[in-house]
Structures are given as C-alpha cells and as structure tokens.
Amino acid sequence: MPELSRADWVREATRTLHEAAVDSPRLSAELILQHVCGISRVELATRPETFLTSDQLSRMTGLLRRRADGEPAAYLLGQREFYGRDFRVTPATLIPRPETEHLIEAALKGCDGPASFADLGTGSGCIAVTLCAERPDWRGLMVDLSGRALAVACQNAVRHDVRQRLQPVRADFTRPLLRPESLDLLVSNPPYVGKTEYEGLSAEVRDFEPVTALVPNFVDSDKIPSHDHHHDHGGSHSHVPSTPPDKPEGLEHLIAVAQEAFVALKPGGLLLMEHGYAQGAAIKVLLESHKWENVLILKDLSGHDRVASARKPAA
C-alpha cells in the first residue's frame, strides 16, 4: 500500500463524500482524520504532509464508509460541541444544534441569583449541564424517558464537573411529575416535529437520530409503558388545552411541558421551550390564552421563530 499523507487522504475522502452527497464533505473528512489521529485542526493545517500509519488508515476508512452511508459525523466521533463545550453523544441522544443555544442565552438572561430548574427531555444533557457550568449556584433535574440517554447526560455532567448539582430522573414528563411551585426555571427542547414534517427530514436525521426525541408520542421499545397523554393536574388547574385540530402538527409535548411548568414553577418563574419554526404563533396564542404572562417568541440566527418564553403570574 503506497504511503498516504494527511492532505492526500482528506482530498480523496472529500471526493468520496461529495459523490455520496453528504453534508459538508470536506469538514467531515477533516473531522474523521483529526479524531483518529488525535490532532487539532491547527496541526492538520500546519502539518498536512505527515504520513498516515496503516492502523490510522484502516480506522479512517471504516468511519469514512459509515459517513458516506449518511451516519452523522457527531455519532462517528462520539461528541458534538455545544455552547463552547464538547458533549458526548450516542444514537440514543439527539445531536445538539446551534439553535438550542438560544435557550441557554434566554435562561441566563432571565434568571438572577441562585436558581432551581428542570430540563424536560434532557437527551445528552447539553442544556442542563451548560446551565450549571455557566452558573455555579444553579441546581437542576435532568428528566428523560430513555435510560440510555440519561446515562449519557450523567457522563456529560461528570465531564464538566457539575454532576453533584444535577439529578437524573427517568420519567414521562407528559404526566404529573414535579413538586408544585418548586422551580425558578423550566426549560425544554421537547419533541416537536409533526409526522408529516418528519417524513420530509433529511435521511441523515430520519435514519440515525432517535425518532422519540423528534416526534411527540412516538412509541418504541425504550419507552416506559405508554400512558394516557392527557395531562391533568386536577380540573381547573389544567392551563393549556389539548391540541386544537387546526393548529400545526407536533404541539403535543410543548403543551405538556407548559402544563407541567404552570404547576412546578414558583410565582414569577420562567418557562423556556424550543419549538419548530412554524409553531411560534400557535404557541404564543395558547400560552397567552391560559394565564401566562410576558409571552415572547424569540428568533434564531436565521430569523426563524425558535424559543417560547413566558412567566408564571407572580400573584
């Protein structure tokens, strides 16, 4: 086998990935090489002529084949950066998106001093871990239905030295869960993709990321036995109705989060939810019509509606 330099391999791998029509072919090739060789982007740029060993080539070829088949680079590498920190990810967790960083910014801006929070549908734990890493006087609950996802979230909490301030809870957040008026903040990036929209997602998302983290009420073998998803905290205490038939698809878990938040938040507490780009108007109407105050729909860097922010009445 002829010797191959780092630059040669990246060039050939980029061509392979381009022909396979995957996203960001050159970046993917570079990330695979950096991961296997244990080098930084700077070292790749400054020492492209370094030859690769047969073991490195073998490992990189295997990862390249998986990437060409559409498997996301984050799963190949086992991590993804979020808010300036690296987080472990596995096929049991959603891959953190830059859009979700808007939840972090809104939370940090919206809560002063020590705070107690819950992150519903925590997945990799990137939201909860980041909040505790940014605020040493915050404590939180990481709630998820998937035991495998919670294990990853705990690993990330240990990695970023906040595990002692985060409690993992395996539970279905569409059922009554949290103590009344126990939290200052409730934050969530819940499943909000409607079944129709899901069919139109890229194969990279559909074929590899956990559908239960994307589509509300999708049942798979990792789910705790299903329950009635109508959330009832006792008659008049239900502060968001079931999804009206004329509203966008995918609102079911956003509604459940809002119901849980109205019970669990202290007076004046803050609710933050990530949602789909076409759901902002519907979420705003639902929250405003059910006693929430200061309801805002925040946009992401692309100008799309992305985060709903609301306050529980102080009185």
Whether 88 and 153 share a structural domain: yes
Q: What is residue 269's predicted lDDT score, i.e. its pLDDT?
A: 98
Whether 304 and 163 share a structural domain: yes
* Residue 190 annotated in ligand binding: yes
* Residue 70 annotated in ligand binding: no
CATH number of the domain bearing residue 10: 1.10.8.10
* Residue 303 annotated in ligand binding: no
On whether residue 218 sits in a domain, the answer given is no
Helix axes 54-68 and 6-19, enclosed angle (nearest 10): 20
Whether 28 and 117 share a structural domain: no
Whether 169 and 26 share a structural domain: no
* Residue 156 annotated in ligand binding: no
- Residue where one domain finishes, among candidates 50, 70, 90: 70
Q: What is residue 248's predicted lDDT score, i.e. its pLDDT?
A: 77
* Residue 294 annotated in ligand binding: no
- The total domain count for the chain is 2
* Residue 217 annotated in ligand binding: no
pTM, to two decimals = 0.87
CATH number of the domain bearing residue 180: 3.40.50.150
* Residue 30 and residue 44 in contact, taking contact as beta carbons nearer than 8 Å: yes
Q: What is the mean pLDDT of each run of 10 residues along the chain (315 residues)?
A: 88 97 95 96 96 96 96 95 97 95 97 96 97 98 96 98 98 94 97 88 89 79 34 34 59 95 97 96 94 96 96 91
* Residue 245 annotated in ligand binding: no
* Residue 277 annotated in ligand binding: no
* Residue 125 annotated in ligand binding: yes
Whether 170 and 284 share a structural domain: yes
Task: Note down the domain range covering 152.
Answer: 80-192+250-312
Tokens 């509606």 belong to which residue? 305
Of 222, 229, 233, 276, which is closest to residue 251 (Cα–Cα)? 276
Whether 296 and 260 share a structural domain: yes
